[in-house]
Amino acid sequence: MDSLTTEQILDARLTDWRKLAQALQARFLTGDFAAGLRFVTAVSEVAEEANHHPDLALTYPHVDVTLISHDVGGLTQRDVDLARRISEIAQAQGIDADPHAVSEIEVGLDTADVAAVGPFWAALLTGSTDALHGSAVIDPRGRLPLLWFQDTEAHRTPRQRFHLDLWLPHDIAEERIAAAVAAGGTVVDNDNAPSFVVLADPEGNRSCVCTCLDR
């Protein structure tokens, strides 16, 4: 099954869901644990029927759901179809979604030699160099944020080589950037907006606000 483009995902008009780095994500406001458990049970039943299984995180006030087709490393029609089914379950159970509550952190490290540093970080973070996949370290347990290696020319160690990539829903990124600027930050580079905007705190430490647009 072919991966869908970002435009195709947006055209599907999945109002409860937002595409972040790779996956579709949603937060459903179940309100209490019992309601969350009923919701998760119903979702698990349709997932079994579809033979396509989301990641579910049940907490006291909400349930977070993540959808991706791991076999193709992206989003497919299976994810869109299951997202719609899950939204229908939420509606039937009187559960609202909060699509602006989802976010995702990735850590970027500038390096001119992934082959040299990649195995170290994979072993340190996960206990195995097998967690290094190309230019990223992916925790198979899903406990740690993805660490990706940003290609750069060899140079003396600069002031900052690590930076955070904050993935946000595309329809709130500008609002969040404005809030960060109002709190003392500056926009360092917006040439690639809305794909990503580079911000800096008052001491010059940088972070990127990323969206799924223009990718």
pLDDT score recorded for residue 152: 87
Rounded to an integer, what distance in angstroms lies between the CA atom of residue 39 and that of residue 29? 10
Query: Per-residue pLDDT tens for 119-148?
Result: 999 999 999 999 999 999 999 988 899 999
Rounded Cα gap, residues 56 and 138, in angstroms: 18
Q: How far apart are CA 120 and CA 137, in angstroms?
A: 10
pTM for this one? 0.91
Residue 25 maps to a domain: yes
Based on the domain organization, do 140 and 182 belong to the same domain? yes
d(CA 24, CA 161): 29
pLDDT of residue 1: 77
Which residues span the domain enclosing 179? 104-210
126 shares its domain with 150: yes
Residues of the chain with pLDDT under 50: none
**Whether residue 78 is found in the same domain as residue 160:** no
Whether residues 188 and 204 fall in one domain = yes
pLDDT for 142 equals 87
Kindly state whether residue 215 falls inside one of the protein's structural domains.
Answer: no
- The whole-number pLDDT of residue 160 equals 81
Give me the number of domains the chain comprises.
2
Q: What pLDDT is attached to residue 203?
A: 86
